[in-house]
Structure formats: C-alpha cells, structure tokens
Amino acid sequence: MFKKKKIREDFDAIFKSGDEVAIKRMLEEYPWLLDEVSSEMDEIMTDQKQVIAALGVMEDELGGAAPIDEIIFCLRVDFSIRKTEEEVQGILNNVENLGLVKRESNGWILTNEGGKACDIYLNSHIEDIEL
C-alpha cells in the first residue's frame, strides 16, 4: 500500500511537470496508474458536463446569461447535484478555458461548442433529469 502511494505521488509530480517521456515510462511500468488517471478524468469531465447542462437549462429559462447562483440552483433542483459556489466557479473557469462557456457581465453563456456539449449530455440523461 505504501509503495503505491509513493508511486502515485511520483507520477503526480511527473504529470504536473508535463514530461511526456517520463509519463509514458511510468504508465508502461505501472499500468494500474492509467486506470486511476482515467477514472479521475472521467469524474472531472462528468462534473463539467453537468455544470454545462445546468447552465444551458438556465440560459434557456432566463433567456440569456445565467448567474452562478441560478446554475447552482438548477444543479440542485433539476439534477439532484449539490455543489458549492467555489466548485461551480472553478468548473466554469476550466470550461471557459476550453471555449465551452463565456463570462458576461451578468452571468455565463454557452458557446456554440458548449451548446453542443449541453445537448449531448441532456439527450443522453433525459430520463435522469427532473424538469
């Protein structure tokens, strides 16, 4: 157990450094790391998709930009997901860097790509969502 923890810490440091050769070498030596990294990335992407979908729902409902408190409300009421303002703000900042959302003076809006991601998520989870 201790050995895996040390390997994870070493991998995290290498991953943050961006050394692709060292990352590839560690993944070849410890293939179980790939499963862990994939699981973490899947979780991050799911969180992002949920926030994008909530933004899309609120943007449609409000007819324009959605303030962060409305996005949080939508997550809680329509998606049964509880997130803090800090969590949602962090996710919005990350997806803004990906070009999926845009910050406006009165809230957030989806870009064309963000709108597509929103539609895909909503269409694939329509039976899970309480609208």
Domain boundaries, the chain: 44-128
Residue 19 clears pLDDT 70, i.e. is over it: yes
Q: What tens digit of pLDDT does each residue of 83-100 get?
A: 999 999 999 998 998 899
Tokens coding 107: 């809230």
Strand ranges, E, within the chain:
101-104, 107-110
Contact 62, 108 (CB under 8 A): no
AA identity, residue 57 = V
Q: What's the pLDDT score for residue 98?
A: 86
Angle (CA) 60-64-67 rounded to 5° is 100
Domain 44-128 sits in CATH at: 1.10.10.10
DSSP 3-state of 80: coil
Predicted confidence at residue 32, as pLDDT, reads 87
d(CA 95, CA 89): 10
Tell me the whole-structure pTM to 2 decimals.
Answer: 0.74
Residue 109 is encoded by which pair of tokens? 């809006």
Total length of the chain:
131
> Of 125, 101, 123, which is closest to residue 113 (Cα–Cα)?
101
Distance CA 122, CA 131 (A): 11
Predicted confidence band of residue 129 (pLDDT cuts 50, 70, 90): low
> What's the average model confidence in pLDDT over 6-25?
85
For the cut 80, the answer to whether the pLDDT of residue 39 exceeds it is no
Contacts of 72 (CB under 8 A, 6+ apart): 83, 84, 85, 88
43-66 confidence digits (pLDDT tens): 778 899 999 999 999 999 999 999
